[in-house]
Amino acid sequence: MPHPFELEFELTLPADPEQVWAAIATGPGIDSWFMGRNEVDPRVGGAASMETGGHRETSTVTAYEPGKRFATRTEPGGDGRFMAFEYLVEGRDGGSTVLRVVHSGVLGDDWADEYDALRRGWPFHLHTLREYLTHFAGRTAVPVFAVRPTAGLPAAGVRAALTAALALPADPPTGTRVRADLPGLPPLDGELVWSDEERFEVRTADGLYAFLHPPGVLLLFHHLFAEPAPAAAAAESAWQHWLSALPAR
């Protein structure tokens, strides 16, 4: 049975409206804090797409008012499911900007779990947006994605393997310094800027590195700002190899 929903968030960002607009309404900007590889045709009726792990989802731009309002909506499926996103941008004195985000639509039979995942995920993504605009403003990232199924593995063992690989205690607080030697990858040297029961995020001098371990899967969403820009395919392959070799039991 379809279940309508709506989530709304508001935050003040340390950037002017033009910077916030570039982050939420252009492909390279969205690449720098959200998920996957993104493209936006900048007009009402244009296409907006996100590709993650070979899966491509396309929506239609339903509002495009530069510096003020951007919205998209997917086509309803056979069961009535769809997703709609609206971003409202308002400049404030002192060069800051208030961003209001509305995520609405219709969920399917597993609506309770889906809704809970969305409700818990958005604060993390908006935190990443703040990190991006605070520390990497004016730059765009190469997005990196890797995934490993963990069905059948104990959740505690998966988390323990991840924290051990990152040289972190079991429940590390934000602000923890991260210095980890990762096989086949450059050392990870930065600060833990997000920590909860199913995800961590590390900010380094040249990237934002998100490690997620919800039930049944391990995920990486990284945003690499290094110069020169790394080759996306090579970086993704290296991280996928590291993730697949992680000794989760």
User: Tens-of-pLDDT digits for all 249 residues of the chain?
Assistant: 778 999 999 999 999 999 999 999 999 999 999 999 999 999 999 999 999 988 999 999 999 999 999 999 999 988 888 999 999 999 998 889 999 999 999 998 778 888 888 899 999 999 999 999 999 999 999 999 999 999 988 888 999 999 999 999 988 999 999 999 999 999 999 999 999 999 999 999 999 999 999 999 999 999 999 988 889 899 999 999 999 999 876
Q: Which fold has domain 142-245?
A: Alpha-D-Glucose-1,6-Bisphosphate; Chain A, domain 4 (3.30.530)
Residues 6+ apart with CB under 8 A from 93: none
SS3 of 155-167: the string is HHHHHHHHHHHCC
Q: Where in the chain is the domain with CATH 3.30.530.20?
A: 3-135
CATH, domain range 3-135: 3.30.530.20
> What's the pLDDT at 228?
87
DSSP H stretches of helix in 97-169: 111-135, 155-165
> What's the pLDDT at 191?
98
pTM above 0.75, yes or no: yes
205 half-sphere exposure, CB direction, 13 A CA radius: 5
> What's the pLDDT at 80?
85
Neighbours of 215 (CB within 10 A): 11
Cα separation, 183 vs 204, in Å, equals 18
Residues 6+ apart with CB under 8 A from 70: 21, 24, 25, 61, 63, 64, 86, 87, 89
> What's the pLDDT at 26?
98
